[in-house]
Amino acid sequence: MISNATEKSLKGKLSDTSERKNNTEGSISMGTKQGYAITTWRLRLRCKHPEWLETTQNFYNEIQKFYYDLYLERPELWNENSQNALRGLETLSIPGRTRKQVEYPFPWDNALLYFRRSAANAAIAAAKSYLTRSAGGYAGKTETFHSAVTYYKGMYRELTSHGVELRVWTGDEWHWIHCRLYGKEFPEDGQLMSPSVVYEHPYTMFQVPVKEVVQDASGIKERIAAERNVCGVQFGTKDVFAVASVLTADEKEAAVRYFKGGNRYTDQCRRVVEHIDKSHASHGENGNGPVNQRYWMQIKHLNSHYAHQVSREIVEYCKAHEVGIIAFPKYAESYEKHVKKASGNYSALHLSTRIREYLTYKAWQSGILVIDIHAKGLHENCAVCGANIVSVDKKTQECTCEAGHKTNRYLNIARNTAKRCLTQFQRTENIR
């Protein structure tokens, strides 16, 4: 199982979700340099002494709390980058070779170097997040941590898709234990990075960031200039997860596809919810806890399964039609929230956020950029002739324009999204 990396939107009318949205880097020159993508692989972990993993995590969180409090006490560190902040924390707490007395002595003499630094870096990240959120009045200071342990180099060895050896704290000493892993094989050319042990009841998961080469790291303007195909995608409702329209550089439609399966997803979720409701009726809201937890995990797995499936299908479709850019309409957050709420918790549309999330990193791995296009006006005009849309049949989702053209309204939006991407970037290029 794979999850995506953290995403951040760019400023401006159009938000480029290429390098920055997937923790990626690379050249903006077509075909001259490669980029890379980092995705997190999730494997199930089993070992003979799971209690040692918990003891290690507890020790890790104690160290994290120590450095979290220390960082917040020292405002001179707040504007430093993470590397300099770590150096500052160590100077304040670790005597070093000179054994010089420090202001805040580190309270443990049994913490390994890379274990301590991993916990300290986690503390810095948590403290910076707290300072950012507290500035807006949204956060309280963390008193107890339950962070997953990130194993730096020297804390793990012999990592494969089938197993790993972890250095763990038993409570008395450091010990190497062998853990079995269950999941997909790592990519042959992937670089495995610092893994983490994450508890997801009832499973213990082993998460491994994998760095992979991206052959085409060119930017949007370069792709438009090279006349790459653009695919506009609009999320749908009921049985249709999404509608895609592929346009060539001269705005001719090369392909259309409806990605279905929403009804099946909804039905499967509702069956699980019925079991949860029956459990609540028999045992109360707080009763039958383990059973309810199992059902909620089923919902989570259904969400993940369908999101991965649909996002993978869209990417493969775009690869088959030589698409260089996938464009989504970007709606106002309030509007999007309202529409999703109206569609229901287990509708095809409700899953769109996760599909979009998974799609971004899958596309980048295949050398395809994903961008957002402002949605204003995309639903108002006919993509065929430009005339105003005068009616929409909400039952059939058919829209009709003043000239009499009839089409699915989601397809119409997908077409207009691709057109707007082409025209805006082509116009920018021509001006330059």
- Cα 431 → chain centroid: 35
User: What is the number of alpha carbons within 13 Å of residue 120 lying toward its C-beta?
Assistant: 23
Which among 212, 207, 208 is positioned nearest to 191, based on CA atoms? 212
* Residue type, position 348, single letter: A
Quote the CA–CA distance of 183 and 152 in Å, as a whole number: 22
Residue 308 CA, chain-centre distance (Å), reads 12
Radius of gyration over every alpha carbon of the chain, rounded to an integer in angstroms: 25
Task: Tell me which residue of 21, 378, 390 sits closest to 234, measured CA to CA.
Answer: 378
**pLDDT tens readout for residues 344-395:** 788 888 899 999 999 998 998 888 999 999 888 899 999 999 999 999 998 8
Higher pLDDT, 94 or 97: 94
Sheet holding 398-401, edge to edge: 389-393, 398-401, 406-408
Under CATH, to which class is 7-34+216-431 assigned?
Answer: alpha beta
Where does the pLDDT of residue 38 fall: very low under 50, low under 70, confident under 90, or very high at 90 and above? confident
For position 126, what pLDDT does the model report? 95
User: The whole model's pTM is what?
Assistant: 0.67
pLDDT band at 19 (very low <50, low <70, confident <90, very high): very low
Q: Crossing angle, helix 113-135 and helix 82-93, to 10 degrees? A: 120
Q: Report the alpha-carbon distance of residue 432 to residue 428 in Å, rounded.
A: 6
- What's CA 401's distance to the chain center, in Å? 38
**31-to-214, 238, 367, 368, 397 alpha-carbon distances in Å:** 11, 41, 11, 13, 42
Distance CA 326, CA 232 (A): 6
Each domain of the chain, given as residue ranges in start order, spans: 7-34+216-431, 43-214
Q: pLDDT by residue (tens digit) across 303-346?
A: 999 999 999 999 999 999 999 999 999 887 777 777 877 777 88
Phi/psi for 229 (5° steps) reads -65, 150
Tell me, rounded to whole angstroms, the distance of Cα 103 from its chain centroid. 40
Contacts of 427 (CB under 8 A, 6+ apart): none
Q: State yes or no: pLDDT of 100 exceeds 60.
A: yes
Q: Report yes or no: 177 and 169 within 8 Å, Cβ to Cβ.
A: no
**Is the pLDDT assigned to residue 138 strictly greater than 80?**
no
The band of 274, judged by pLDDT with boundaries at 50, 70 and 90, is confident
